[in-house]
Every structure is written in C-alpha cells, then in structure tokens.
Amino acid sequence: MPTETDSPAAAAGTLPKGKICDLEVSRLVLGGNLLTHYTHCRDQSYVLDLIAHYNTEEKLLETFALAEENGINTLSVHTVDWTHKIMKKYRDLGGELQWILCPTASVEDPDLKEYKEEIRRLADLGADAFYVWGEHTDVLVREGKADVIARCLDIFRDLDLPAGVGGHGLDVVKASEDGGMDPDFYVKTFHHHDYPSAPADPNALEQAYGEVPGYWCKDPQETADYMKGVNKPWIAFKTMAAGTIGPQSAFEYVFKNGADFVFAGMFDYEIEKDVAIASAILQEELGKNRARPWQG
C-alpha cells in the first residue's frame, strides 16, 4: 500500500494497451462497483455490508497499487465522492491510475445545470475521460430524448477530454450511430448466457437487462454482430454477469467477439490472476484477424 513517503511500483507485466483518443489505456480496466461498495447482490443485502467492511480506505489504496503493479493503468467509477477522495489521495501519494468517470447528476434539467457542475468538478479533480451513464442513456433513448446524450457529449468535448456513450441496451449505440453523435468510445454491456442463472428463454426477454433473472446483455450475438460495423473503441462491461461467469470464460468470450477493452470489478486478491488470464487471451487474440477489427 502507498504511504506518505512511498509511491506504487510502476506498471509492469504483459497486459496490452490500446488508445482512446490520445489516452493509452490497459485493455483490462479496474471496474468501479466494488470500489464504491456496490454490487449486484439481488436480495442478499448483507453482501453490501460485507464489501463495505472489506474495502476500507486502506484496502482501496492497496487495490489501486496492485492494479498498477500488474499493468492496469486505468480505473472507472461512478460519481461517489468518498471514493473520489481516496482516488485523489492515491494520486497525491504518487499513483498514476487514469480515471474514466461516469457522471450521475440529473439530466432532466433542460439546461443540464447540475450535470455541467458535476462534470466541471470531476474534471478539476483530475478526470481523464468521461462517458454518459447507461442508467441515463437507456431511459433517454426509450423516451425519445437521445438529443440529450449528444448535449452531454458536447460538455465533455468542451473540456477537451475523450467523450463516450454508455448503455445496457443496444438501442443506445444504434441511436448514437444513427444520430451522428460521433463519440470517442462506447461502454456497452456484453456477456454470454452460458451460466446457471442466465435467462431460460432469451428470446422472450423484453428489457435490455434484468436484475432477476440476472442478465445485463439481452442479446449478446446481436450486440457482437452490430458492433462489427462500429469503428469506435468499445469497452465491454458486466462481462462476468455480476460475478456469475468466471474471468476465463468471460474475457475469452468478449475479446474474441469484438470488445476492445473490459471493465472488470476485482477485489485486491483477484487482480493478479485476472490480469494473467486477460493477458494470455489478449496475447493470442491481438495477433488474429477478428471479425471485428481491433479499435484503439
């Protein structure tokens, strides 16, 4: 763990990197839910308390250091102020993790005043890139308000930072592409359905994702097929279906089927193994001509 006098070890190892604009990003990115004490535990609420007791400030600083030591150079997290303070402390101690942040302020105000204020604050804190939150975009597209997503992207661009669009539903990506929003990257859910708690009949699914049954990518084949024609870096998230798919199966599936980067929630003790798995898959896949060419 970094201290007031020590800085974390430099990023090392064989984990490949790619580009999002001018930002060099490790193909495996430290995901944010566990860092903010949130996880998809359905009705098992005790899990949230367990994570809060485990991922203390000291443990998060250790986790950040382990990520860097194993070649991860970027993390992504929602707007959770106390987590941001620990991230800033880590940087002040010499840590160099980049931040891809996801503002969660309301987008209902026609002037986006609250949203703009949050973005400026996060930019001043040290954000390296932004994307529009999937919880916002799913609703905006469903309600015919996709133009708000474009306005959010303009706010990011005014700060001269990479600007992305996130979403659970593929309709979000389609709305962005059809509407000429031209984001710098996408953050889209992607996981297979070969796990015990997967929906029994995916063809009957009406929603883009559902906590029960636990799925976050309604039609992974449709997603893979559509993304073949999208020439933007694609960060896949929920690749392990909130912990129900092992990293070997998850990373192999998403990288082979088109994703360029992965957000992965990891406890400190999982990082070394997950990096080794991702690195081995990437070392093999980067030399191949995928159906979807590598972006970034």
Tell me the residue ranges of DSSP E strands in 32-190.
Answer: 74-78, 98-102, 129-132, 163-167, 185-189
Q: How do the domains of the chain map onto residue ranges? A: 19-285
Task: Please choose, from the candidates 190, 112, 122, 188, the residue with its C-alpha nearest in 3D space to the C-alpha of residue 161.
Answer: 122
Q: Residue written as tokens 């991702």?
A: 278
Task: Please choose, from the candidates 198, 187, 257, 194, the residue with its C-alpha nearest in 3D space to the C-alpha of residue 228.
Answer: 257
Task: Please choose, from the candidates 170, 171, 162, the residue with its C-alpha nearest in 3D space to the C-alpha of residue 100.
Answer: 162
d(CA 42, CA 80): 21
Quote the tokens at residue 72: 């991860």
Quote the tokens at residue 101: 């942040």
Quote the tokens at residue 294: 């590598």
d(CA 215, CA 202): 10
CATH number of 19-285: 3.20.20.100
Residue 76 phi, psi (nearest 5): -135, 140
How does pLDDT run along the chain (296 residues), one tens digit per residue? Answer: 444 333 333 334 589 999 999 999 999 999 988 787 577 766 677 667 777 788 799 999 999 999 999 999 999 998 889 899 999 999 999 999 999 999 999 999 999 999 999 999 999 999 999 999 999 999 999 999 999 999 999 999 999 999 999 999 999 999 999 999 999 999 999 999 999 989 988 888 989 998 878 899 999 999 999 999 999 999 999 999 988 999 999 999 999 999 999 999 999 999 999 999 999 999 998 878 888 999 98
Put simply, whether the predicted model's pTM sits higher than 0.85 gets the answer yes
d(CA 259, CA 14): 19
Question: Could you tell me the CA-to-CA distances from 288 to 52, 165, 191 in Å, in that order?
Answer: 41, 27, 21
d(CA 286, CA 280): 10
Quote the tokens at residue 20: 């999002």
Give me the pLDDT at residue 13, please: 52
Give me the pLDDT at residue 1, please: 47
Give me the pLDDT at residue 212, please: 79
Rg (the chain; Cα; Å) = 18
Q: How many CB atoms lie within 10 A of CB 22?
A: 6
